[in-house]
Amino acid sequence: MSKSISGFSKLSKSHKIDWIVATYFNNNEDAKNIIKQYWNSNIKLQQLHDEFIENTITNYYLPFGVAPNFLINGKMHAIPMAIEESSVVAAASKAAKFWLERGGFKAEVLSTTKIGQVHVMFYGDPKTLQSFFKHVKPKLIQATKTLTKNMEARGGGILDIELRDKTQSLDNYYQLHATFETLDAMGANFINSCLEQFAKTFREEARLFNGFTEKEKQVEVIMSILSNYVPNCLVRAEVSCPVEQLTENTSINPEEFAKKFIQAVKIAEVEPYRAVTHNKGIMNGIDAVVLATGNDFRAVEAGVHAYASRNGQYSSLTHAKIEAGIFYFWMEIPLALGTVGGLTSLHPLVKLALELLHNPSAKELMQIVAVAGLAQNFAALRSLTTTGIQEGHMKMHLLNILNQFQATDEEKNTLINHFKNHTATHSAVVEAIKDLRLKNNK
């Protein structure tokens, strides 16, 4: 068993590395070199990254790519994407180009409300709790005035607080269920600060409330936290075109393609095993933009998948139909995003990504991110229902395999050319590089 350590966080960066390399890598200098290889020579930039989290020993790079040619509501965008998976950026770019020639994407923000809850246990008469809530609600709002002042000046703030009786689900359980408008901020800090203040005031006022018995005065606050489930912070993205325009690069005719595509979506609507993979493909696009723009992709993931199960069964996020000869493909998803606060002005690459997107408002970013997800799903379904994904995917993966074999530039060029006309399976690539090396050594 490895050794435990106390006071690790207090060690300097190089002492942390020394301890890790001694404890887990048998003092192997190679491990130390790999860690250090990712340090940035710009000391200030490195310090900035060190301070984003705790116990930082190095940086973890992800490729930052760009998918151009996205026409969204009549405006052109090149979309930044941070992702490690090959083919995703290529697929997004391809879908963007395809829809550019067919009127582009339309996107609309349907709502922007976020939610936070104070979870409370109350041991007494629910009616008395209701009358206490009426009495305390204005005090809760008043107590957060210093926190909400700036947000209110910009047009946001607390929209409402409700008392919810959850005792059907759990004995003595109630909630202060609050709704917020946080404008261009993701709002997690704002919401959590308001909630903690609600909790404090709620508990203090309960102790003073004459209508309560001594037992009822002891309301117990379990926790106060925002919800990452935001079904009322919703954006819709859509593409449409006459069925006969669904041509280009498909091995089948447009009508047949449209029918097959719609069946593929319907399968994901009714079959959870397929829906998860279908939605994973959508999240390839969404997470990559969310990450590039410094937003919290775990929050987005959790909220989107909860939304995909809102009717009791996990289902497709996208939908498709043909109506009067027009093919429609669309998606509505919840996205709580920010374009101010958090990493947005702190991380130079995030700042650059937002600049690349013309410094969007949170609503505009919701539209862009949703479009990236829809484009990704279109590209995946187009491949799956026609050629299959492996053909394109393995071509993109080719470089990864060649890099694993430390192929030289010359070897890479030869083999990339070779696989233009051959099926690039993993074993075929391995064989080809071995053959090439044998030949070259002769």
Least distance CB 63 / ligand MEV (angstroms): 15
Among 277, 400, 413, 440, binds ligand MEV (CB under 6 A): 277
CA distance 197 to 203: 10
Closer Cβ to ligand MEV, 217 or 274, answer by number: 274
Report whether 121 contacts 233 (CB < 8 A): no
Q: Comparing C-alpha atoms, which of 320, 305, 304, 334 is closest to residue 235?
A: 334
Asked if 191 interacts with ligand MEV (CB under 6 A), we say no
Residues 64-103 that bind ligand MEV (CB under 6 A): 85
| Amino acid identity for residue 302 in this structure | A
Least distance CB 274 / ligand MEV (angstroms): 8
Asked if 144 interacts with ligand MEV (CB under 6 A), we say no
Count of residues near ligand MEV by CB under 6 A: 9
Among 141, 234, 337, 380, binds ligand MEV (CB under 6 A): 380
Q: Comparing C-alpha atoms, which of 24, 2, 21, 23 is closest to residue 13?
A: 21
CA distance readout (Å), 42 to 46, 59, 347, 356, 405:
6, 13, 14, 23, 31
Tokens of 154: 């910009």
Among 77, 278, 382, 397, binds ligand MEV (CB under 6 A): 278
Q: Comparing C-alpha atoms, which of 210, 221, 159, 220 is closest to residue 187?
A: 159
The piece of 7-15, 225-233, 240-248, 280-288 that touches ligand MEV (CB under 6 A) is: 280-288
Asked if 281 interacts with ligand MEV (CB under 6 A), we say yes
Least distance CB 377 / ligand MEV (angstroms): 6
* DSSP sequence for 300-337: HHHHHHHHHTTTSS---SEEEEEETTEEEEEEEEE---
Among 280, 319, 321, 418, binds ligand MEV (CB under 6 A): 280
Residues 284-313 that bind ligand MEV (CB under 6 A): 284
Which residues carry out catalysis? 85, 280, 296, 393
Least distance CB 87 / ligand MEV (angstroms): 7
CA distance 394 to 387: 13
CA distance readout (Å), 198 to 144, 217, 247, 259, 300:
8, 16, 57, 53, 26
Q: Which residue is nearest to ligand MEV (CB)?
A: 281
Interface positions with ligand MEV (CB under 6 A): 85, 277-278, 280-281, 284, 380, 384, 389
